[in-house]
C-alpha cells in the first residue's frame, strides 16, 4: 500500500463545522448606534415643538392682522401689538409703558426706528375720535405688522432696553 492510501484509511471522525453566527443578539456597536439615533430624534422633536410654541403668539397676531386688515383701526392694531409684546417680554416691564416710552421700546427691537419718527401721528390717531386719515392709518398699521414680523420672537435675550 502506498502512503496516500494509508492516510485515507486512518480512523478519523468527520469534521463538525460550528454554527454560523446569528444576527441576534446585536453587537454593542449597533445598540449604541440605535441609541444615538433615538436620542437625536427625541431632541429634534423637542426642539421643533419649542420653536413652534415660541412662535405661536406671533402667528396668531399676524393672522388677526391679516384677517381684519380693512376693518382694524390703528388703536386696535396697537392693542394687538401690545398683546404680542406681552407674550414675549416681561409683563412688569412692558405693561407700564405708554406714549413715547412705548414707541421707544418698539423702536429698540428693530434695526431702524419706525415708531418714534411718527410719534405725532400715533398720538393723534390713538387719542382722537371720529374719522381718521386712511393713508396715515394704513401706514401705521403696516408699521405694526412689520414690527410683529421682524421683532418677534426676540432674537437676543431681553435686557432692560431703557437702561442703555
Q: What is the chain's mean pLDDT, rounded?
A: 83
- Average pLDDT score over residue span 13-27: 87
Q: How many C-beta atoms surround the C-beta of residue 140 within 10 A? A: 24
The model scores a pTM over 0.75: no
Which among 97, 98, 95, 94 has a CA at the least distance from the CA of 154? Answer: 94
Task: Identify which has the larger pLDDT, 6 or 16.
Answer: 16
Count of alpha carbons within 13 angstroms of residue 152, beta-carbon side: 27
Q: What angle do CA 106, 51, 60 make, to 5 degrees?
A: 55
The span from the CA of 131 to the CA of 146, in Å, is 24
Taking CA atoms, 115 is separated from 57, 107, 138, in Å, by: 21, 6, 14
Residue 48: per-residue pLDDT: 95
Q: Which residues contact 149 (CB under 8 A, 6 or more apart)?
A: 58, 62
Q: What percent of the chain has pLDDT over 70?
A: 85
- 29-87: pLDDT as tens digits: 999 999 999 999 999 999 999 988 888 988 999 999 888 777 777 778 888 999 999 99
Q: What angle do CA 78, 82, 86 make, to 5 degrees?
A: 170
Residue 40: per-residue pLDDT: 98
Res. 11 pLDDT band, cuts 50 70 90: confident
Residue 42: per-residue pLDDT: 98
Residue 133: per-residue pLDDT: 67
- Cell output for 118: 411718527
Domain boundary assignment for the chain: 56-151
Model confidence at 131: pLDDT above 60: no
- 134-153: pLDDT as tens digits: 777 788 888 888 999 988 88
Q: How many C-beta atoms surround the C-beta of residue 142 within 10 A? A: 14
Model confidence at 130: pLDDT above 60: no
Amino acid at each position: 500500500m502506498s502512503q496516500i492510501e494509508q492516510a485515507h484509511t486512518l480512523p478519523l471522525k468527520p469534521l463538525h463545522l460550528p454554527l454560523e453566527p446569528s444576527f441576534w443578539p446585536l453587537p454593542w456597536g449597533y445598540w449604541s448606534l440605535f441609541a444615538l439615533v433615538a436620542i437625536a430624534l427625541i431632541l429634534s422633536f423637542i426642539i421643533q415643538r419649542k420653536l413652534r410654541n415660541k412662535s405661536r403668539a406671533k402667528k396668531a397676531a399676524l393672522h388677526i392682522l391679516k384677517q381684519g386688515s380693512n376693518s382694524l383701526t390703528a388703536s386696535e392694531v396697537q392693542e394687538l401689538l401690545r398683546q404680542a409684546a406681552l407674550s414675549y417680554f416681561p409683563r412688569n416691564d412692558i405693561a407700564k409703558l405708554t406714549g413715547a416710552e412705548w414707541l421707544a421700546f418698539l423702536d429698540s427691537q428693530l434695526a431702524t426706528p419706525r415708531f418714534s419718527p411718527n410719534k405725532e401721528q400715533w398720538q393723534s390717531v390713538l387719542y382722537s375720535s371720529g374719522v381718521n386719515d386712511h393713508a396715515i392709518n394704513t401706514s401705521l398699521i403696516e408699521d405694526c405688522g412689520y414690527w410683529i414680523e421682524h421683532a418677534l420672537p426676540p432674537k437676543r435675550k431681553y435686557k432692560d432696553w431703557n437702561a442703555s
